[in-house]
Structure 1
Amino acid sequence: MYADKTLGGHFKEQLETIYDMRVVIWTNPVSNHLADGKLVIHKWRWVVERTISWLGNNRRLAKDYERTLLSARSFIWIAHIRRTIKRVFR
């Protein structure tokens, strides 16, 4: 998982131990920050923005209706499966 400096520290350690995932904290200038007067865009930002946009197209995921993390995660999986099926059978 790629994250910025705000997700470092204890939260990063929890993600790595509980979910057994590798967390990469970017310390370079993050997108929408000016470095030497030029706009710097993060290398993987478009992937994150595109994924959030796809999830936002689902009515159930447009707002935070879910009470549990399991149900929210399930609807995210369903949204990705639905999108993949639509793409395959076009």
Structure 2
Amino acid sequence: MFKGIVEYGCFPIGSDGGFAVKIFSLLEGTSEISEGSMITMDLVKWEDGIPYPMILIHCTYEQLAVNVKLITKELFKYFNLEN
């Protein structure tokens, strides 16, 4: 049974919008829907408890794995090594 869009992962990056956009620009995926792109990743800005979608990419399961690894690595560097 189709359930529509289900959110099952989130990376709260903090209030540094430039850093969030930088990470998102490194992710694998495309703005075009393709046969293999089963997952969407959204860059969302929160203001006063309201989510504002900014950028969306479609990716495959393999690209999702690469993207999660990249986000994790960049967040670790940002919060533990660069500040």
What TM-score do you get using the length of structure 2 for normalisation?
A: 0.36
Q: Work out which of the two has the higher radius of gyration on C-alpha atoms and give 1 or 2.
A: 1
Say which structure, 1 or 2, has more relative contact order (CA 8 Å, 6+ apart).
Answer: 2
* Greater fraction helix: 1
What TM-score do you get using the length of structure 1 for normalisation?
A: 0.34
